[in-house]
Amino acid sequence: MPNTERQLTLTIGGPDVEDGKIPLAALAGKLNALQKTLFNVALARSGGPVAQRGNWSKRIIASCELLFCESRKGSLTVVAEIPPPSSVQTTLSGTEVDEGLRALDTLRQVTVSISAGDSSNLVSIMPDGGARLRAIKSIEALCPRDTDDFWVSLGNGSGKTYARLTSESRSFIQQIFEDDDVVEVQTISGDLVEIRVLAGRRHIVIRRQQREIVCYYPTEIEETITQLVAGSIVEVKGRAQLGDDGAVRQIDEVLDVSTIDLSPFRTSSFHFNDRRFILREPVICSPEYRNNLWVYECPRYGLHAFSEDRQEALRQLGEEFAFLYEGLIDEPDEKLTPDAIELRDLLKADSVRVEEI
């Protein structure tokens, strides 16, 4: 008896397929696309690196290479199956995972969503952004074009169909790649509360504004992730999902992450707009991160700037200095208070020149 659990059916039907006949090149193209899709879906679920085109790991090929079983009458139906598991992956929790069966189930979930025109769960199914897009791109090759008068369906070994792909499915996939409103690059900062490196969906969790934001990262930056320390303040840049309020809900793919050094630093200039204020000697500035705000202070001049965005807080610090300098440097004593006179004289003593940049 065949093991239908490990089988996959591909059916091509419609006016272009008369009596189960179809151009051999078209059939070969769809079968090739199906195999690549299964490999890429397995890669997306494995958490492994996104390899170069056509270069999948030996483990994925051994688990997910489709073997021809039979063809069936009616609409052209091809039945294929994956090999018995040559090895079983064990997660940190001790759960054994059959990668081939997991890939078949993931393929079912993804194609069901695409055939229904619903992309809402694709990120949770395949968190790694690069691997997810590669898998979805493979499914696009399975879908008929606008000029094709046929459809492609996928089903399990018993022949029950779970997804039908049409030219509308291809258009939907193309829209996923074009939809800039759903995914865009954002930078967030906050307390690092969790790091998951070795198994499962690789991610870190950032606490920001009383919310925990999950940030999925690709294997390419795993070495950087391992150097992070839980409890530190980090800044994460990545492709993000935004909520209705415009706030970051989740980082689908981390592009860069770094720990923020909160120790005092010295600067010999302040910048604002197209002007640079050069100082005779460096002055000390102090950064802080509190109540979800970046705070920068320069005690020597009484400067204080804050913002939810670190770069904006630094920009405001430069703006504060420019405001002081331009408002005081040429003012006569009679227009200033004693404290303002003291600050003006300090600025004159410390400043060397102002440059246009």
Give pLDDT, residue 48: 57
- What architecture is domain 183-257? Beta Barrel (2.40)
Query: Domain ranges in the chain?
Result: 4-178, 183-257, 265-356
The string of pLDDT tens digits covering residues 132-171 is: 877 888 898 899 887 788 899 999 888 789 999 999 999 8
User: How far is the C-alpha of 25 from the C-alpha of 11, rounded, in Å?
Assistant: 15
CA distance 50 to 218: 8
pTM: predicted TM-score of the whole model, two decimal places:
0.51
How far is Cα 232 from Cα 253, in angstroms, rounded to an integer?
21
In the chain the first and final C-alpha atoms are separated, in Å, by 78
User: Pick from 56, 81, 50, 74: which is nearest to 217 by CA?
Assistant: 50
Asked if 75 and 90 count as a contact pair (C-beta separation under 8 A), the reply is: no
Q: Are 8 and 66 in contact (CB under 8 A)?
A: yes
Cβ–Cβ < 8 Å for 318, 272:
yes
pLDDT tens for 83-121 read 987 654 544 344 567 889 999 999 999 999 999 999 888
